[in-house]
Amino acid sequence: MTALNPAADLVDLTRALVDTPSESGDEADLADAVESALRACPHLRVQRIGSSVVARTDSGRAERVIIGGHLDTVPTAGNLPSRLDGELLYGLGACDMKGGLAVALRLAATLTAPVRDVTYVFYECEEVSGDRNGLNRIAAECPDLLKADLAILMEPSGASVEAGCQGVLNADITVRGERAHTARSWMGVNAAHRAAAVLQRLDDHTAERILIDGLEYREGLNAVAVRAGIADNVVPDTCVITVNLRFAPSRSAEQAETYLRGLFREYEIEVTEVVPGALPGLGQGPVASLVEALGATPRPKLGWTDVARFAALGTPALNYGPGDPALAHTAGEYVSIGQLRECEARLQAWLSG
């Protein structure tokens, strides 16, 4: 088993994490190493749930903070082992998110008496379909572990605070026609031709920009798939357009659905998935204090992240971690040593009072 030493240098620890492969579904080795390192700390209570590991301080503080990150990475892209080039550490997951994990592990091992109690959550299967996500299993088996006054997800955010997240709605819009042989196409009605109106409406649509706590959530509405076709000699009687709506966290799932249906009132719509976003909650006590301590101007998170899972449990959450989010899932991903050290120092200071 890989041995991790969280008390060692932060860069060495990040390299050791990168060099322990943990593609989604195959995180057990890394979880073993993390569990073992944390069990060596007398100030932590450790629980293992699948390939997720939860460690808590329990000093009776007035506030409790979750610091979380996923153990898994996307599949390798020929970018192992890790490689240090000056200020930049390259390798699979360096950015998303073994840099953030290293910071969290260091804090867990070294902060023996933080001024806020901390629950460290290292979880499995974030990079795959949501039903496999380790947070789901923890929420189902030990929901109390995910309750806190604030959760910090150490996803790459360029060491600035990305607050809240947008919701996602996927739906199929079905345009119907009437089938016919193409040699006598006037006997039918071409559903693909009629779909022009739906696609044009999407093209004409101006997505809204919604201001919440001073942050601009820019929505988006896109056709992400179009499917029509029976055979080369048949006028298609069906054309299905899959649309993806990214909606501001001020809309509920129900409101997002009503909004979409209002835009395409005359069409058949089937909503196949809808997950609400998370409000930034910048006005709430612990969030305001943290944002001030981190010294970064919060930005709105436009994608969907696991902060929404915490929001759904009633725990305000934000993204804060080292690494440029645009590098996530790229073969050339890296994390800068400066951001690693900055994230550790700022969180350490805030948790030390």
Other C-beta atoms closer than 10 Å to the C-beta of 83 total 14
Residue indicated by tokens 């725990």: 315
Q: Is 196 a residue that touches a copy of itself (CB under 8 A)?
A: yes
In contact, 273 and 304? CB cutoff 8 Å: no
> Of 25, 227, 254, 297, which one interacts with a copy of itself (CB under 8 A)?
227
Nearer to a copy of itself, 72 or 162 (CB): 162
| Terminal-to-terminal C-alpha distance of the chain | 36
Question: What does the alpha-carbon distance between residue 64 and residue 26 come to, in Å, rounded to a whole number?
Answer: 30
**Set 27, 126, 257, 333: catalytic member:** 126
Q: Is 250 a residue that touches a copy of itself (CB under 8 A)?
A: no
Which residues between 172 and 191 bind a copy of itself (CB under 8 A)?
Answer: 181-186, 190
Q: Is 220 a residue that touches a copy of itself (CB under 8 A)?
A: yes
> Of 214, 229, 285, 332, which one interacts with a copy of itself (CB under 8 A)?
229
Asked about 333 being catalytic, the answer comes back as no
Q: Is 235 a residue that touches a copy of itself (CB under 8 A)?
A: yes
Q: Is 318 a residue that touches a copy of itself (CB under 8 A)?
A: no
Q: Smallest gap, in angstroms, from Cβ of residue 134 to a copy of itself? A: 21
Question: What does the alpha-carbon distance between residue 187 and residue 145 come to, in Å, rounded to a whole number?
Answer: 63
Q: Is 2 a residue that touches a copy of itself (CB under 8 A)?
A: no
Beta bridge partners of 152: 67, 318
Two tokens at 196? 């022009």
Q: Is 199 a residue that touches a copy of itself (CB under 8 A)?
A: yes
Residue 328, classed as helix, strand or coil, is: coil
Q: Is 128 a residue that touches a copy of itself (CB under 8 A)?
A: no
Q: Is 158 a residue that touches a copy of itself (CB under 8 A)?
A: no
* Pairing label, strands 64-70, 150-153: parallel
Nearer to a copy of itself, 48 or 193 (CB): 193
Q: How many residues does the chain have?
A: 353
Question: What does the alpha-carbon distance between residue 123 and residue 53 come to, in Å, rounded to a whole number?
Answer: 6
Q: Is 331 a residue that touches a copy of itself (CB under 8 A)?
A: no
Cis peptide before 187 (omega within 30 of 0): no
- Residues near 130 by beta carbon (within 8 Å), at least 6 away in sequence: 136, 275
Size of the site for a copy of itself (CB under 8 A): 49
Q: Is 200 a residue that touches a copy of itself (CB under 8 A)?
A: yes
Nearer to a copy of itself, 59 or 233 (CB): 233
In contact, 147 and 80? CB cutoff 8 Å: no
Residue indicated by tokens 């996307």: 74
Asked about 126 being catalytic, the answer comes back as yes
> Of 166, 315, 336, 339, which one interacts with a copy of itself (CB under 8 A)?
166
- Which residues contact a copy of itself (rule: CB under 8 A)? 166, 168, 170, 181-186, 190, 192-200, 202-203, 207, 218, 220-236, 239, 241-242, 244, 246, 273, 302-304
What is the set of active-site residues? 72, 126
